[in-house]
Amino acid sequence: MGDMARLGSWIEPFPEGIYVKPADAWVDPSRPKDRALITHGHADHARGGHGEVWATPETLAIMDARYGEQRGAQVGYGETVRIGEVDVSFVPAGHVLGSAQILLEHRGERVVVSGDYKRRDDPTCPPFVVTPCDIFISEATFGLPVFRHPDTGSEIDRLLHRLRAEPGRCVLVGAYALGKAQRVIMELRARGYGEPIYIHGALERLCRLYEELGVPLGELRPATGVPKAELQDKIILCPPGALNDRWSRRLPDPITAMASGWMRIRQRARQRNVELPLVISDHADWDELTRTIREVAPKEVWITHGREDALMHWCQLHQIKARELNLVGYEDEDD
């Protein structure tokens, strides 16, 4: 090798996260570390207990709400900060409010850690920005050609159509508390739905935080303690775990829906007794993943949490060096 060091030799993947040696910092570590750079607020990426957290102001606000006040530094989109011997920038990832790709520059090499991302419009956060680099560390949650997410507007239209076709009932939508719930609400508003939307108590705090951070959600009302008759012909949102629990039995004959990229898989919908699966995802589908790799045009792609094999194969076919990182602890809170 001599002095021709391997590309990205200053970045070390460990099962518990990506270690950036010359910054003495970890990206999205799953265990408490002295210094953590956090891509976004989902619990599998942003954990409590770090010494020092570097993240966008929105991600820090989300972490404050979940884990108590964080010690650390805010880095806005487009700002560059120097940590040790590394220039660090946060670039929009289009995944949830505050979500960022992290650009790391050291001795002329550029590495982008995507975090989770998607390419289609999301009214709750700024769109993904293509950032050319030498190494692109990409998620691959939906990294199989079978995953092609439909148009979001048409999924929302199916929801509204079903609501109107069955008077006297209600539609209960299971949606993750951070990102998905607020996006479904905004997409409903964008389709002209102006009625109050009822929400499970577990969604209240993050919906309020989104509004404080400048994402207007329209009229929201608590779904708990409301007479059954008031909920007829209404849309109610809850976390996926509440879809089939006691709480939902007090609702007027709910049509059970769920908004998730996994709803593309019929069996997943059946497991949760979902009558109305809505394929709405905050992750890139197969076409978005491959388009992004083409546009970013890295020398190497390192692939994290997901179905690495198919994307590895695709990279090889396209003469891009690819490597899979076996990070652990990335669950799909946020699918």
Question: In this chain, which of 122, 155, 334, 335 binds Zn ion, going by CB under 5 A?
Answer: 334
Shortest approach of Zn ion to residue 148 CB, angstroms?
20
Shortest approach of Zn ion to residue 41 CB, angstroms?
8
Question: In this chain, which of 28, 58, 116, 300 binds Zn ion, going by CB under 5 A?
Answer: 116
Q: For residue 134, count CB atoms less than 10 angstroms from its CB and return exposed for 0-12, middle for 13-18, buried for 19 or more.
A: middle
Q: Give the C-alpha separation, 262 to 240, whole Å.
A: 12
Shortest approach of Zn ion to residue 221 CB, angstroms?
27
Cβ atoms of 297 and 243 within 8 Å: the answer is no
Nearer to Zn ion, 124 or 256 (CB): 124
Q: Give the C-alpha separation, 95 to 129, whole Å.
A: 11
Q: Is 43 helix (H, G, I), strand (E, B) or coil?
A: coil
Nearer to Zn ion, 122 or 334 (CB): 334
* 335 is a contact residue toward Zn ion (CB under 5 A): no
Nearer to Zn ion, 61 or 163 (CB): 61
**Which single residue is written with the structure tokens 């076409």?**
287
Q: Give the C-alpha separation, 131 to 223, whole Å.
A: 42
Closest CA to 199 of 162, 174, 216, 166: 174
**Which single residue is written with the structure tokens 């004959």?**
253
Cβ atoms of 261 and 149 within 8 Å: the answer is yes
Nearer to Zn ion, 43 or 265 (CB): 43
Nearer to Zn ion, 163 or 289 (CB): 289
Contact string (CB under 5 A) for Zn ion, positions 18-47, x = contact: ------------------------x-----
Shortest approach of Zn ion to residue 44 CB, angstroms?
5
Nearer to Zn ion, 155 or 334 (CB): 334
Shortest approach of Zn ion to residue 94 CB, angstroms?
11
> What is the number of residues in the chain?
335
- Please give the residue ranges that form the binding site for Zn ion (CB under 5 A): 42, 116, 330, 334
